[in-house]
C-alpha cells in the first residue's frame, strides 16, 4: 500500500499574490469578517486536509525587506491569527488549527495560555507556528527596545554563505527560550490536576501543579500556568525555515518544520541540511517532521494556472516572486510532484494558495481527488487529535508528573 501524504494549507488574507484581493471570487469586503474565514476552513476540511495555518506578523502584509512605498493597491492590514483560529474552533471538527504567533515582543506566559485555550476549545486540534519578528518597524510598535536590521551587505553575505551575524543568532536564542517556557507551562499542570469535587470543595489537587522555575538570558518565569494542561499535552509546534540557523532552531524547539526547496533542485539538499541541524543540536527522540511549502496557482474552469498567474501579475504590475517554489499548472501535475518529493523523503506538504478562495477550492476539488486516485491520500478523517492526524505520539509524558 502506498504511504499516505500529509497535506496542509497556509491561509493569508486574500491569498499570496498581492493582486489576489482583486479577483472576482475573493470577497475583499469580507476579509476581516468571520464568514470569510469559516468558509475557507469549511472548504479545507471538506478536502480532508490535515491542518490550516493562519499567517500573521506585527507588520502589514508585504515584503518586509522592501522599502515602505505606501502602496494602496494591495491589502495593507491584518487581523489576529489566534483569534481567527478561536473563531474556527467551534465550527470545525477534524482539521488542525495552527495560528502564527510571534515570540518577539510577546510574553511566553500569554502565548502558552492562548494556545492551551485553543487546544481546549478545539478538543485537541491546536498548533502554533512560531515566528521571530526582526524589523525595526515592528519593534517601533512597542517601543520597548530597538532592533537592528540586516544591512544590504549583511544580507548579501547571508545569501552567499548562509551565515548570519550575531544579533540574528540572539533572536533565535530568545525564540528557543520562549518555546521552552511555553512547553514547560503546558506541563505545569498534570493531566489529572483537576478534581472538581463539590462534596470536598476541592477543584484542583495543588500537589499536581508545578512551578517551572525557568531562568534564562531572556525570561525568568516561575509558573505554574493558570490554564489546565492542553488535551494534547503538547500542542503541535511548527516553524518556517529557510537556512541552517533556523533549521537548528526548529530542531531544538519544533515538532514540524516548513521548508522551501526549489522545483529545479528538489528537496534532497534541504533534507540533508535539516538532518545536519538536528544532529548539531543533539535532537533525540521523535524526529523533526519536514514539510515542503509550495505556492500554488492551479487550473480552474475559467483559466489554466499559468494564465491565472500571468493575469494576476499584469493586474499587480509586477512579476510575482516568493520564498517558496511557485507552482502554476494542473492538479494532476501537482499531484505527481508531491508524490515524487514524498518519495524523496518529504514528510508532508503545506500549500499556499495564490488566491485563497479559488486555489483552496481547486485543492479540495481537484488535487485531493487526484491524490486519492493515486492511493496516497485519505478518503475520510480518523478520530483523534492533531498529533494523531500527523502521526506524532499522542501520549506526551509530563516532565513534572510525580509517581
Could you write out the DSSP letters of every residue in 288-319? PEEEEEEEEEE--SS--HHHHHHHHHHHHTS-
Binding-site positions: 56, 100
**Does a structural domain hold residue 171?**
no
CA dist 110 and 338 (Å) reads 37
Binding-site positions for FMN: 56, 100
Domain CATH for 73: 3.20.20.30
Q: Mean pLDDT lowest for which of 53-67, 152-166, 255-269?
A: 53-67
Model confidence pLDDT, tens digit, residues 377-387: 999 999 999 99
Q: Which domain holds residue 377?
A: 7-132+235-389
Contact 357, 25 (CB under 8 A): yes
pLDDT at residue 61, as a whole number: 79
The single residue listed with the C-alpha cell 493515486 is 374
pLDDT at 392 over 60: yes
**Does a structural domain hold residue 173?**
no
CA 45 to chain centre: 17
pLDDT at 74 over 90: no
CA dist 294 and 372 (Å) reads 19
**Does a structural domain hold residue 46?**
yes
**Does a structural domain hold residue 305?**
yes
Closest CA to 243 of 226, 264, 225, 257: 257
**Does a structural domain hold residue 325?**
yes
**Does a structural domain hold residue 180?**
no
**Does a structural domain hold residue 145?**
no
Count of domains forming the chain: 1
**Does a structural domain hold residue 60?**
yes
**What is the pTM assigned to this prediction?**
0.95
Please provide the average confidence, as pLDDT, over all residues in the chain.
Answer: 93
Amino acid at each position: 500500500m502506498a504511504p499516505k501524504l500529509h497535506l496542509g494549507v497556509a491561509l493569508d488574507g486574500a491569498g499570496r499574490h498581492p493582486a489576489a484581493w482583486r479577483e472576482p471570487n475573493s470577497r475583499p469586503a469580507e476579509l476581516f469578517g468571520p464568514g470569510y474565514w469559516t468558509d475557507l476552513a469549511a472548504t479545507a476540511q471538506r478536502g480532508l486536509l490535515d491542518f490550516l495555518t493562519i499567517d500573521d506578523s506585527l507588520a502589514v502584509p508585504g515584503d518586509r525587506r522592501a522599502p515602505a512605498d505606501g502602496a494602496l493597491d494591495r491589502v495593507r492590514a491584518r487581523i489576529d491569527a489566534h483569534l481567527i483560529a478561536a473563531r474556527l474552533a467551534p465550527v470545525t471538527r477534524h482539521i488542525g488549527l495552527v495560528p502564527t504567533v510571534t515570540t518577539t515582543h510577546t510574553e511566553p506566559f500569554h502565548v502558552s495560555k492562548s494556545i492551551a485555550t485553543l487546544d481546549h476549545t478545539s478538543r485537541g486540534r491546536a498548533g502554533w507556528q512560531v515566528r521571530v519578528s526582526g524589523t525595526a518597524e515592528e519593534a517601533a510598535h512597542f517601543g520597548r527596545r530597538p532592533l537592528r536590521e540586516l544591512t544590504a551587505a549583511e544580507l548579501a553575505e547571508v545569501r552567499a554563505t548562509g551565515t548570519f551575524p550575531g544579533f540574528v543568532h540572539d533572536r533565535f536564542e530568545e525564540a528557543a527560550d520562549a518555546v521552552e517556557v511555553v512547553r514547560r507551562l503546558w506541563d505545569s499542570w498534570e493531566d489529572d490536576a483537576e478534581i472538581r469535587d463539590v462534596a470536598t470543595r476541592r477543584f484542583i489537587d495543588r500537589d499536581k501543579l508545578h512551578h517551572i522555575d525557568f531562568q534564562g538570558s531572556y525570561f525568568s518565569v516561575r509558573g505554574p500556568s493558570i490554564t489546565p494542561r492542553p488535551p494534547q499535552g503538547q500542542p503541535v509546534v511548527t516553524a518556517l525555515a529557510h537556512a541552517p540557523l533556523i533549521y537548528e532552531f526548529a530542531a531544538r524547539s519544533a515538532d514540524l518544520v516548513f521548508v522551501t526547496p526549489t522545483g529545479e533542485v528538489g528537496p534532497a539538499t534541504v533534507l540533508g541540511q535539516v538532518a545536519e541541524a538536528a544532529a548539531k543540536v543533539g535532537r533525540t527522540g521523535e524526529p523533526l517532521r519536514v514539510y515542503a511549502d509550495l505556492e500554488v496557482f492551479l487550473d480552474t474552469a475559467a483559466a489554466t494556472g499559468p494564465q491565472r498567474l500571468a493575469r494576476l501579475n499584469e493586474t499587480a504590475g509586477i512579476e510575482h516572486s516568493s520564498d517558496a517554489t511557485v507552482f502554476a499548472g494542473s492538479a494532476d501535475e501537482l499531484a505527481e510532484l508531491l508524490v515524487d518529493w514524498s518519495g524523496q523523503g518529504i514528510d508532508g506538504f503545506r500549500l499556499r494558495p495564490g488566491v485563497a478562495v479559488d486555489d483552496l477550492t481547486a485543492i479540495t476539488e481537484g488535487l485531493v481527488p487526484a491524490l486519492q486516485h493515486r492511493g496516497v491520500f485519505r478518503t475520510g478523517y480518523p478520530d483523534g487529535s492533531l498529533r494523531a492526524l500527523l502521526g506524532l505520539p499522542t501520549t506526551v509524558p509530563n516532565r513534572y508528573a510525580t509517581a
